[in-house]
Amino acid sequence: MYYTFDGKIRYSETDSEGRLTLAALLNYFQDCSTFQSEMLGLGVKYMKEHRLVWVLSSWQIVVERYPMLCEDVQIGTFPYDFKSFMGGRNFFMKDKEGKYVAKANSLWSLLNTQTMKPVAAPEDMVERYGLDPKLEMDYVSRKIAVPEGGLQGETVIVKKHHLDTNHHVNNGQYVAMALDCLPEGAVAKQGIRQLRAEYKKQAFLGDKLYPYIVETEDGMIVSLRSEEGKPYVNVEFK
């Protein structure tokens, strides 16, 4: 089922040009799905009681434009697919004329918090969420190929403010970290029109993330890795 809420772009969510930042857009989407889950009784309390957690596998966010300070917007989300332990969810942001300013696709895995193994979504959860047709957008693979020949960035240490209620690094925080790794001028201001993020491994308080940064034909890829070189997340900016 569709869930929407109305918002107004805040000063704290804008860049030096007064436009909504990509990280803030992602946070709007995360908040929207959280609001829906809480409204349906499937929020934080439900998940803890049933020893369940949704783990994000991938983001694809396509941006038509970045709204300006104080602009009125509507944010929406809905699930479009449940297959065993996998779930697909769309997001969107519209302006006051009802035009899309951004669309997103996300894929999730449902895990048991005791075993950390995938489990099928309970029937009552599927029934309460319901399903709607997928948004019309150019869907791309969740897999991100990371080319060789990149550079190492400054090590990032996971702090308390990076964590969410599941006590691991929040999905949006990874993207914010990756954005901070981009070289000055690497991507023109407001030039990021598509974000893809492929989540591989959870990071916890005190973990060290080693950024690997590589330029592509039409953007940049940042791979946040462990000391052994295994990625926590690969993020592509186009």
Q: Which amino acid is at 105?
A: N
Tokens describing residue 162? 């990076």
The confidence score (pLDDT) of residue 189 equals 46
Q: Which amino acid is at 70?
A: C
- Four-way CATH pick for 3-129: 3.10.129.10, 3.30.1200.10, 1.10.3720.10, 2.60.40.420: 3.10.129.10
Over residues 133-148, the mean pLDDT reads: 94
Burial of 166 (0-12, 13-18, 19+ CB in 10 A): middle
How far apart CA 79 and CA 182 sit, in angstroms, is 32
CATH code of the region 151-237: 3.10.129.10
Q: pLDDT tens, 38-85?
A: 999 999 999 999 999 999 999 999 999 999 999 999 999 999 999 999
Residue 145 φ/ψ, nearest 5 degrees: -80, 125
- Assess whether pLDDT exceeds 80 at residue 187: no
Within 10 A of 54 (CB to CB), how many other CB atoms are there?
Answer: 19
Radius of gyration of the chain (CA): 18
Burial 126-139 (b: 16+ CB within 10 A, else e): eebbeeeeebeeee
Residues 168, 203: contact at Cβ < 8 Å?
Answer: yes
How far apart CA 96 and CA 59 sit, in angstroms, is 25
Q: pLDDT tens, 10-24?
A: 999 999 899 999 999
Three-class DSSP category at 182: coil
Equal CATH topology for 3-129 and 151-237: yes
The packing angle between helices 22-39 and 171-181, to 10°, is: 180
For the chain, the average pLDDT equals 93
Q: What DSSP character marks residue 203?
A: -
Q: pLDDT tens, 147-186?
A: 998 999 999 999 999 987 777 788 889 999 999 998 876 6
Between residues 188 and 20, the one the model is more confident about: 20
Question: What residue ranges do the domains of the chain occupy?
Answer: 3-129, 151-237
The confidence score (pLDDT) of residue 203 equals 86
Q: pLDDT tens, 108-120?
A: 999 999 999 999 9
